[in-house]
Structure 1
Amino acid sequence: MRFQHSAAVRAAFPDLVAGVVVAAGITTDLAVASRVEAFTDRARARLATGPEAGFPEIQAWRRAFAATGLKPTQYRCAAEALLRRLRLDGELPRVHPLVDLCNAISVAYAVPVAVLDTDRISGDLTVRHARGDEEYVTFAGGVEHPEPGEVTFADAAGRAHARRWTNRQSGWSAVRAQTSRVLIVAEGLHATAGADVARLVDTLRTELAAIGATPGAHAVLTGAAPAFDVPEEAPAGRPDPEAGRPDSGQAVSPGARWR
């Protein structure tokens, strides 16, 4: 599988920097509580200085959403949605150990972080403008089609793994109890995204190893190096494409719209 952003997305957003990490050994028994709290405390400390809307990382995503025709206060990137929830509720939701950890790292860096089950992706995965015929599965099991021109994560089978870029992830490839291997994607558009996303990738790899998962191949993608080849794995018992749909109760409901 190759992960990349299309040339059109790169041209429209030349400052885009993406970090990617492959991780295996994912289970529901990963012990993350203390680590989640530490990263969440970092976000709380930053929120104490002012609301998330003023963060440069969030402002950059608001500008990007506006540029694609979306109202930024109606459709928020996942990092903003999580930070807003943390500010209002004081806590982040708990849904799955890996998701919880990535949510906490996301708010600590104010950068959207997506976690996708690699066994649920067909062929290459490209962040591109939708044609409008892609199939997006909601967490309730319903099917939607992205609007033509909407930025989505699309695989070779025409399945959309996101709506409105970093706003809402598909239930189809979300982490579930059976997930064992994932592709983690973090994306930044702000002025210091290059350094910040690189640090976030290092943080992810360190934290994954510390909780007993296995961090694998990783990269920081830019316009000069836009693609990442996910190493092949021969999983035992690859899932039936029609089994485990979100309406079967197997998919983990996301803490924010993105995960």
Structure 2
Amino acid sequence: MTLTINVSDEVAALAPDFTYLAVEAQGLVNGPSNETSSALLDEAARRLVKRLDGRAPHEDPHLAAWRDTYAAFGSKPSRTRNSAEALARRALTDAGLPRINLLVDLYNAISVAHLIPVGGEDADRIKGGMRLVRSTGQEPFSTVAGGAATVEHPEAGEVVWCDDEGVTCRRWNWRQGVRTRLTEESVSALFLLESLGPMPAAALEAAGTELAESLEKLSPGARITVRPPASLPAPE
């Protein structure tokens, strides 16, 4: 089943050059991180170093654009960094990138190598379609605080991904909720790759193609669909 994905007019007005690419996959095989997924993360870190060529991650034009967009909806980009910048910063430390599980490792590697925010959701846990909206401040967000499950609410005006049950990711692509995250039991997934103006459409498509190819290697026989990049309508 193809999930619907919608971007609200309010978000379109905030970032008219926003584009996303969706990859849907069924029949996946997930499990604990292993040597293969670890090697993908290590290679992504090496590609990142070459791409940055001595610059800090936030100096990359694409990540700089995300910082500007975060500031536009009232988020402090140096405190709540978009997922791609946060991962890139971690990749450059001695600790390196975290090992979570096979699917998460895979899409994190794509995010770091291409400097693009990538989110992965368990498609079987999504209720209704996915929507990118500016929050009312009332939507529930299931997370963990101090090691205990809790429900938070985003700030009013914050850009969030949500479904019919609540928020799935806060501050656009900053923090994912626990309800729809990919676990070792996940067999279906929706991946969202997000870009802004400085990233050419061809670069977004290349990242999506690499993700699909990596999924096919991880799960031979899985049904994988790459949707064409979806740009927002030009304002009238």
Query: Common fold, TM-score beyond 0.5?
Result: yes
CA distance in 1, matches of 2:164, 2:152: 17
CA contact (8 A) 1:36 1:101 kept: yes
5+ residue gaps, structure 1: 226-259
Unaligned runs of 5+ in 2: none
How far does the alpha carbon of each residue in 1:154-194 deviate from its partner, in whole angstroms, 9 at most, with x for none?
1123x100111111111111111221111000101132342
Return the letter of the residue paired with 1:99. Answer: V
Which residue number corresponds to residue 232 of structure 2? Answer: 223
Establish whether residue 190 from structure 1 lines up as the match of residue 182 from structure 2. Answer: no
What is the one-letter code of the residue matched to 1:156? Answer: D
State how many pairs are aligned. Answer: 224
User: Does the 8 Å contact 1:208/1:215 carry over to 2?
Assistant: no
Q: Which residue of 1 aligns with 2:118?
A: 113
2:211 to 204, 212, 224: 204
Q: Please report how far the alpha carbon of residue 120 of structure 1 lies from its aligned counterpart in structure 2 after TM superposition.
A: 1.3
Task: Provide the rounded CA distance (Å) in 1 between the counterparts of 2:198 and 2:223.
Answer: 28
C-alpha distance in structure 2 between counterparts of 1:208 and 1:33, whole Å: 15
Give 2:29's aligned amino acid.
I
Within the alignment, does 1:131 sit opposite 2:167 as a pair? no
Q: Find the aligned partners of 2:107 and 2:63 in 1 and give their Cα distance.
A: 17
Q: How many Å separate the matches in 1 of 2:233 and 2:72? A: 23
- Alpha-carbon deviation of 1:85? 0.9
C-alpha displacement of 1:215: 4.7
- Is the contact between residue 38 and residue 99 of structure 2 (CA under 8 Å) also seen in structure 1? no
Give the AA of the match of 2:186.
T
SS of equivalent residue, structure 2 residue 156: coil
Percent sequence identity is: 32
What secondary structure, in the 3-state scheme, does the structure 1 residue paired with 2:207 have? helix
**Equivalent in the alignment of 2:172:** 165
Letter in 2 for 1:167: W
Q: For residue 151 of structure 1, what is the aligned residue in structure 2?
A: 159
Deviation at 1:57?
1.2
Q: Secondary structure at the match of 1:20?
A: strand
User: Greater CA deviation, 40-49 or 115-124?
Assistant: 40-49
Counterpart of 2:103 in structure 1 is: 98
Q: Contact 1:116 / 1:182 at 8 angstroms: preserved in 2?
A: yes
Does the residue aligned with 2:161 lie in a helix, a strand or coil? strand
1:15 aligned onto 2:22: no
Contact kept in structure 1, 2:143 and 2:177, CA below 8 Å: yes
Q: Find the aligned partners of 2:233 and 2:104 in 1 and give their Cα distance.
A: 30
Contact 1:15-1:189 at 8 Å conserved across structures: yes
Q: TM-score, normalised by structure 1?
A: 0.81
**Which residue of the partner structure matches residue 240 of structure 1?**
none
Q: Is the 8 A contact 1:17 1:193 kept in 2?
A: no
TM-score (norm 2): 0.89
Residue by residue over 1:124-174, the C-alpha shift from the partner in whole angstroms, topping out at 9 and shown as x without a partner, is 1101011121110113411001111111111123x1001111111111111
2:7 matched to which residue of 1? 5
Following superposition, the deviation at residue 48 of structure 1 comes to: 4.2
Query: Deviating runs (4+, > 6 A) in structure 1?
Result: none
Asked if 2 retains the 8 angstrom alpha-carbon contact of 1:40 and 1:105, the reply is no
* SS of alignment partner, residue 81 of structure 2: coil
Partner of 1:106: helix, strand, or coil? Answer: helix
